[in-house]
Amino acid sequence: MTDFPADHSAASGAAGRSLLKVGERTRKRNAAEKRFRMMGLAAVVFGILALFGLMASILSNGLSSFNQTYIELDVYLDPAVLDKGGNRAPEDLGRITTFTIQPLIKAAVQDLIDETGVSAEGVDANDAFELISKEAPADLRRFVLNNPDQIGETVSFDLLASGRIDGYYKGRVTMESAALDRNISPEQLELADRLKAEGVLETRFNWAFFTAPDASDTRPEAAGLGVAILGSAYMMLIVLVLALPIGVAASIYLEEFAPQNRFTDLIEVNIANLAAVPSIVFGILGLAIFINFAGLPQSAPIVGALVLTLMTLPTVIIATRAALKAVPPSIRDAALGVGASKMQAIFHHVLPLAAPGILTGAIIGLAQALGETAPLLLIGMVAFVREYPAAPPEGFFDPASALPVQVYNWTQRGDPAFVERASGAIIVLLVFLLIMNAVAILLRRRFERRW
């Protein structure tokens, strides 16, 4: 029987080290691990701070776009100006122009000043008229054409204030900057303050930001996302109808039915490569095939949707194949063992279990497509569009815009009010993306099964 020393330190002394003492190499390993953990924590903190900084910048610049300044004005729709014939004929009313409407608004402004007694030194009726947006005559013209029976009456309108007045109450315009601005003067701002004190001018939530079309460079206060939201909705509908069934069908065939040979290996490699291709390449492809070759109209949602479908398909296929692979082989074997055909085993057992991953991949692909800008610029969706597309299916071929393209358009314009509008559009786009990702998470949790 072997005798062991009573003192373990004596046993370890021969080796020159002790289990109870931390050696130099151990200290170095522990220090390296600590440094690595600190670097990882610093990277996480930096990422969170960068995210908060980005969101703070977007929110600080864009939240004000959801409010708008309006002027309440009672306008007399003079029949001697609007309907000289007195017959309310649509062809006669169609000749009304915005220049015809302007004198009526100026007269209403003068009446407002006379009734309230509000005035500012050096500001006449023409200067007071400049407090109102240039979109106001067009709004009144549309009202008259849609309500010819109102001609001859005094109608109360909530008209948009000009971009400078709106910017004054949002902090973009000051008395000092107005003194150097040819579009507004400090005296006009003083008149606006007095009108606000009288309750004639007020700032409230801007529902028109979600429904109005784009506006010209001189009317930033009238610009909205209506056409862009509708165009994006049309494109996402087409992408969903095309990308989901095609991508799922291709994935099922490649994963469950296709033989393993060089040809299928080549297809898998190309699918993986297509997922990494820059989106602008798909835009060039869409321009060459769908517009130059197939003759489809530019700026149409159908073209944008086809391009985004090509771009989304690799993502859907990869996500679907991963979901199918995650289903245990025992599920297939059990189905086949009780007499089911291979197709029955796939569609009755494997596909329902893979549904959460498939739906998640599809929604993430759609979210990626919703935020793409470069391919849409190449197919002409950068064009200025004010008319709403018709209802489907005709509307798929009408000119339209998209949310990311609208953001790009507004950032290219010189008026600071468009920068505010662009930040507001980014907020709307981020909300849509968050909703889509939340839906993906909920669907995964709702349909997820454990085995």
What is the 3-class SS of the chain, one letter each residue?
Answer: CCCCCCCHHHHHHCCCCCCCCCCHHHHHHHHHHHHHHHHHHHHHHHHHHHHHHHHHHHHHHHHHHHEEEEEEEEEECCHHHHCCCCCCCHHHHCCCCHHHHHHHHHHHHHHHHHHHCCCCCCCCHHHHHCCECCCHHHHHHHHHHHCHHHCCCEEEEEEEECHHHHHHCCCCCCHHHHCCCCCCCHHHHHHHHHHHHCCCEEEEECCHHHHCCCCCCCCHHHCCCHHHHHHHHHHHHHHHHHHHHHHHHHHHHHHHHCCCCHHHHHHHHHHHHHHCCCHHHHHHHHHHHHHHHCCCCCCCHHHHHHHHHHHHHHHHHHHHHHHHHHCCHHHHHHHHHCCCCHHHHHHHHHHHHHHHHHHHHHHHHHHHHHCCCHHHHHCCCCCCCCCCCCCCCHHHHCCCCCHHHHHHHHHCCCCHHHHHHHHHHHHHHHHHHHHHHHHHHHHHHHHCCCC
Q: What is the pLDDT of residue 299?
A: 86
pLDDT of residue 10: 46
Burial class, 91, CB count within 10 angstroms (exposed 0-12 / middle 13-18 / buried 19+): exposed
pLDDT at 4: 45
- What whole-number distance in Å separates Cα of residue 116 and Cα of residue 195? 9
**Phi, psi (5° rounding) for residue 160?**
-65, 135
Tell me if the bond preceding 393 is cis, omega within 30° of 0: yes
pLDDT in tens, the chain (451 residues): 445 454 544 444 445 566 667 778 888 888 899 999 999 999 999 999 999 998 898 888 888 889 999 999 999 998 888 887 777 787 878 888 888 899 999 999 888 888 888 877 778 878 888 889 999 999 999 998 888 888 889 999 999 999 899 999 998 888 998 888 888 889 999 989 988 988 889 999 999 999 999 988 888 999 999 999 999 999 999 999 999 999 999 999 998 888 888 888 888 888 888 888 888 888 898 889 998 998 888 888 999 999 999 999 998 999 999 999 988 888 888 888 888 888 888 888 888 888 888 888 888 888 888 888 888 888 888 778 888 898 888 889 998 999 999 999 998 888 888 989 999 999 999 998 888 888 888 877 777 666 5
Structure tokens at 429: 């786009």
